[in-house]
Chains A and B, each alone.
Chain A
Amino acid sequence: MTRFLKHLLLPRESNNYRARLLHHKILLALTLFFFSAGLLMSFLRTNYPSVLGTYSNISQEALLSLTNQDRQAAGVPPLSLNSELSQAAAGKAADMFAKDYWAHIAPDGTTPWDFIKGAGYNYIYAGENLARGYTTPDAVVNAWMASPSHRENMLSPKYNDVGFAVETGNLTGENTVLIVEMFGSTTFATKTVSPQQETAQPVQVAQALPTPTVGEAINSTASQTLAVQKIGSNQKLAVNAGTGLKQPLVNGATFSVLSARMIIGLFIFVLILDMIVIERRKIIRFVGHNLDHVIFFSLLLLIILILARGAIL
């Protein structure tokens, strides 16, 4: 076993002074393996989402609790979970999947307010936060709190109510968990609890999109009744709105990212080891520069970090 490992990982006579893992045949075999494994994962995710799928452990209750904890810390009254706002958030999430966009305003001009009004919530103030690719409620709330404009929504004393939707589907080419948070109030803002908080103006007409902090006055003439849109049949939802608790046997994202990190880490280790041994023994070989490949694999690790991270809007 030790001999085999040395043969695989260290440059020595048995492998012609090049770690076996770095030989062309092994590189080719691994390439074919990862392409095949990727195709298999794609097949399983599409046809057996209960076996391999996207899983998020995000519930409305957890999001509400964390949001209110942050509001309490900032001296702002807590928000109440509102079913109409949650319905509006679910409608917005469904619309984003159906029309494949990642924005506050849909390509056809539909605004968040249309969903809120359509759900029957007659708001005076309203706002929207979006997130995708997160798997825990803490990560979502922390990301929103770290962004000044989202934080403003989270801690605004203008809002009394909040609604959430957590949906899984394919968005801009990526299977992802989408989180929509909609804020609102049906009464004019009164005195704020914290002296630092700005008192909201009774009529705030300006819509500040695309920034997520959005206030809007009631439009008495417009009583839009947009129905909450259903997701197309081709969108395979693994998680119900607001619950996010239906767990596949294997979380595809976690499994693939961990496996990739391990194999890339192994290659970086072997390349560095190979470089050191060859340098010390002064062996002359006509192969590529290990340092080039180490830098390349390090870049891959960074790219995987970017691919695996969530995004907010």
Chain B
Amino acid sequence: MKKLKKHIGYYLSLLAIFTTGFLLTVYTSPNLNLQKLTVTLTIIAYVLWGIFHHFINHELTKRIVIEYSLIGLLGLSILFFVIEGGA
């Protein structure tokens, strides 16, 4: 809880990124090409946000950069799978 309070500003900015991404995905529905673009940009923003967050807190390591990038890529691959599946 203490940690959360310490990072509240960062989390609010993350929620702002995600809310914008989500609303844009809803707004561009049912144009799948625009939705793909919106989702990809949101994921890139998340990875950059994660790296920036750790950099500001002097916790940034190569492993953390790789972790956020891999989580972002995993998210992208799952959405790719869902879209190619016909959803």
**Which residues on A are within 8 Å of B, measured CB to CB?**
24, 27-28, 30-35, 37-39, 41-42, 45, 53-54, 102, 132-133, 171-176, 251-253, 255-257, 259-260, 263-264, 286-289, 291-293, 295-297, 299-300, 302-304, 306-309, 311
**What's the least CB distance linking B32 to chain A, in Å?**
4
* Per-residue A-contact encoding for B50-70, CB less than 8 Å = 1, 0 else: 100110000101011011101
Interface residues on B, range: 35 or more
Q: Are B29 and A54 in contact (CB under 8 A)?
A: no
Q: In the complex, what residues of A have CB within 8 A of residue B46's CB?
A: 292, 296
Number of A-B pairs, beta carbon distance below 8 Å:
155
A-B contact list, 8 entries, CB within 8 Å:
A45-B85, A287-B64, A288-B71, A296-B71, A300-B79, A303-B25, A307-B32, A307-B87
Q: Mark B37-56, 1 if CB is under 8 A from A, else 0.
A: 00100100010001001100
How many angstroms from the CA of A287 to the CA of B64 in the assembled complex? 6
| Known contacts A287-B64, A293-B71, A304 near B86 by CB under 8 Å | no
Contact A260 B81 (CB under 8 A): yes
- Most B-side CB within 10 Å, residue of A32, A45, A260, A264: A260
Given A30-B74, A31-B77, A288-B85 contact (CB < 8 Å): no
In the A-B complex, the 4 residue pairs with the smallest Cβ-Cβ separation, listed nearest first, are: A256-B85, A34-B77, A252-B86, A38-B84
Partner among A38, A251, A292, A304 whose Cβ is within 8 Å of the Cβ of B53:
A292
Q: Are B86 and A27 in contact (CB under 8 A)?
A: no
Query: B54 and A288: CB pair below 8 A?
Result: yes
Residues of B within 8 A of A (CB): 4, 7, 11, 14-15, 18, 21-22, 25-26, 29-33, 35-36, 39, 42, 46, 50, 53-54, 59, 61, 63-64, 66-68, 70-87
Known contacts A174-B30, A288-B71, A308-B87; 8 additional CB pairs below 8 A are A24-B70, A32-B77, A256-B85, A257-B82, A260-B78, A286-B59, A295-B15, A296-B71
Task: With both chains docked as a complex, state the minimum distance between the C-beta of A85 and any C-beta of chain B, in angstroms.
Answer: 24
Please give, as numbers and ranges, the residues of chain A lying within 8 Å of B82 by CB-CB distance. Answer: 256-257, 260, 304, 307-308
- Of chain B, the residue at the smallest CB distance from A255 is B85
- B30 and A132 contacting across the interface, CB-CB below 8 Å: yes
Q: Measured between alpha carbons, how far is A36 from B53 in the docked complex, in Å?
A: 32
Cα–Cα, bound, A89→B15 (Å)? 43
How far is A35 from B50 in the complex, measured between Cα atoms in Å? 23
B29 near A306: Cβ-Cβ < 8 Å: yes
CA distance A104 to B26 in the complex (A): 20
Query: Which chain A positions have C-beta within 8 A of B70?
Result: 24, 27-28, 31
Quote the shortest CB–CB distance from A276 to chain B (angstroms). 13
| A256 in contact with B74 given A173-B31, A303-B22 (CB within 8 Å) | no
Nearest CB in chain B to that of A171: its residue: B30
B12 to chain A, nearest CB (A): 12
| B84 contacts across to A, CB distance below 8 A | 38-39, 41-42, 45, 256
Q: Please, which residues of chain B bring their CB within 8 A of the CB of A174?
A: 30, 32, 83
Q: Are B73 and A54 in contact (CB under 8 A)?
A: no
A311 to B29, CA, bound (A): 8
A256: B residues at CB distance < 8 A = 81-82, 84-87
